[in-house]
Chain A
Amino acid sequence: MWQYIFRRFGYMLFTLFVISIISFVVIQLPPGDYVDTLVNQMASESSGVSAEVEEQMRALYGLDQPVYVQYFKWVRNIVTRGEFGYSFVYRTDAREIIMDRLPMSFALALGAFLIVQLTSIPIGIYSAIKQYSIADYGFTFLGFVGRAIPNFLLALVLLYLSFRYFGRAMVGLFSEEFVDAPWSIARVMDLMRHLWIPAIIIGLDRGAGQIRTMRANLLDELNKPYVDTARAKGLSERRLLWKYPVRHAANPIISTIGWALPEFISGEAIVSIVLNLPTGGPIFLAALFAQDMFVAAGFILMFSVLTVIGTFISDVLLVWLDPRVRLQ
């Protein structure tokens, strides 16, 4: 088992390496670089910029060097000094921009993730045990609706409804008095009050899917021979249910739980852009448009790191929870 985990850990590092290359290269792909953007801007404003000045600026930012040199320097600075480079747009350390917003992204994605897991699995279990009850039909209907609505649309609808009926759009993650306040218990509570709406928007699709999967898995398991065996032993229905069929049915879901993280991270970005939440998403998008490459690459890298860690957690859960995988 340890061998397996070490191997997975190795894969994780390798994946990160590949992702870092890809993210850096992708950022370089659009024609031109930040200096071009700057030059165009200056040209349209007033004075043109001489080719000489342009070259100087490139040298200043290191943009005149080949891509692999730039990449190597970038990675070295991240690994050895935790530095993400320079933000051309904000004229400051890219790390500041990224670290200012990333925790919010993570909080939102994780919040959505937890809400989804803590509701969808129990609901799926309940639906299966009470198959064809009114509640089961209700959840099934909700499940279809949840799957069918794209999350940006749901965000827009909720935005409209909240504006229409509460008089203000529920944008943002904090009430006004807390926007710039330092961290405190009250601020965290305020965040919690705001977090659940975007969290639901992000998680609805996944949650709806998981309800259906859990329900179907459990219905399958309930008729397996080992359930008859357990019942024939004299176990009570409740004990039997949790020990055998629920465990079997939940196993594939729980052990792949981390694979859902990418979905939540990208969902977070989309919803934050639509609702204009102070997370990484909107800044990341703006950085892409402005060719603020170190900020953009930093975000991609950090999003990827979170995703890859999630996958690694899943890999570990998989062997830990299922003896068939552990002992193969």
Chain B
Amino acid sequence: MTDPLVEIKDLRIHFFTDEGVVRAVEGIDLNIKPGKTLCVVGESGSGKSVMALSLLQIIHKPGQIVDGQILYHRGRVAGGQFSQNGAVDIASLNRKGRDIRSIRGAEIAMIFQEPMTSLSPMYTVGNQVMETIRLHEKGISKKEARERAIDILRRVRIPKPERLIDEYPFRLSGGMRQRVMIAMALSCTPSLLIADEPTTALDVTTQAQILDLMLELQQEFNMAIMFITHDLGVVAEIADDVAVMYLGNVVEYSDVDTIFNAPEHPYTQALLRSIPKISATRQPLDMIEGMVPSPFRRPGGCPFHPRCTQALASCSTVVPSLTTLHENHIVRCLLHEETGEEVPRG
């Protein structure tokens, strides 16, 4: 097994709202491998976006990382904050500090769901793309930065990049804007690209083009991608590995073939049953029996037990721990606990 680029260990993120504490992420363990695509799937509200934002320490206000580590393995950097083996624990960095800012955009980049609102209408495409380049590459001249920006816009297949660079984002189509977002994210050749449902807001044709582009650029830039989606069709198309999330936990993790052909967690099985077998149309995953509980009332024990068809009596009280079924297949379910071996917590 390759050494991970990012190791997430027992990550917990809570939102301290006036109405109570929302436990958006409640103990996630997950590895991101260099150069591979990890898809994160799960119904809306399962904590995918919150987890993604935490990798850059940009969680919104009442939210806070309350426990756990995000170990980012890179070469030594001067002035960084180190824990084991020269890895940086992103979770422990000051969210406004220099260390995390030197990672953002340069080593870990992110693109968001809404290409319409993720770019500012007040500044040109060029201004916003060059900003990242000039921020992380000290001493680069304005002219060089502009050439770099044009070059990267060309590589995301934007026609006439010399012209488009001076255009304002609101004059572009959704697909073009998302290409600009990708260009911006890749401008400093990051080692990890996080994409939070980047194609959900696009039409099907554009969506396919953007996915192809991302896979192609992944080869070219040799970067890892964490791709968040609730679309299993997309997962089948692009994933190397898949993490299935439910209410702030990763309930099952494996390579894409195992997830689709031999899923072990009842929730994963239910997800797969919810997509029509022979169909070209992609369906949102809202057809599982029961409702996702309110974030304020996260069920005790296994959070999925109220909706689980195979629940045991103990499921409502015992929190299942991670069980490694075989290499690269981990599940968090009591049904499997006695058969597998415990994974030691980091």
Contacts and interface: CB of A to CB of B under 8 A. Distances in A.
Contacts of A323: 121-122, 168, 170
A189 B4 CA distance: 70
A226 B96 CA distance: 18
A229 B168 contact: no
A251 B122 contact: yes
Nearest to A222: B61
Interface string B128-168: 00011001100000000000000000000000000000001
Contacts of B101: 234-236
B317 interface: no
A226 B120 contact: yes
Contacts of B104: 231-234
B122 A235 contact: no
B135 A324 contact: no
A265 B308 CA distance: 70
Contacts of A235: 101, 131, 135
A235 B127 CA distance: 14
Contacts of A230: 120
A225 B24 CA distance: 19
Contacts, number: 71
Given A232-B56, A235-B135, A247-B122, A324 B170 contact: yes
Contact of B110 (A223, A226, A232): A232
Contacts of A73: none
B122 A231 contact: no
B122 A233 contact: no
A229 B122 contact: no
Interface residues of B, number: 32
A14 B72 CA distance: 66
User: Taking chain A's interface residues, is the majority helix, strand, or loop, or is none over half, making it mixed?
Assistant: helix
Interface string B45-62: 000000001001010100
Contact of B58 (A226, A228, A244): A228
Nearest to A224: B117
Given A225-B112, A323-B168, A327-B171, A232 B105 contact: yes
A225 B105 contact: no
A219 to B, nearest CB: 11
Contacts of A231: 56, 58, 104
Most buried by B among A228, A236, A322: A228
B269 interface: no
Interface in B169-186: 170-171, 181, 184
B109 A232 contact: yes
Interface in B301-328: none
Contact of B117 (A225, A233, A243, A327): A225
A288 to B, nearest CB: 46
A229 B121 contact: no
Contacts of A244: 120, 122
A299 B36 CA distance: 76
Nearest to B129: A233
B102 A234 contact: yes
27 contacts: A223-B60, A224-B117, A225-B112, A225-B113, A225-B114, A225-B118, A226-B117, A229-B110, A229-B181, A229-B184, A230-B120, A232-B56, A232-B109, A232-B110, A234-B102, A234-B104, A234-B106, A237-B96, A243-B123, A244-B120, A247-B122, A248-B120, A251-B122, A323-B170, A324-B121, A324-B168, A327-B171
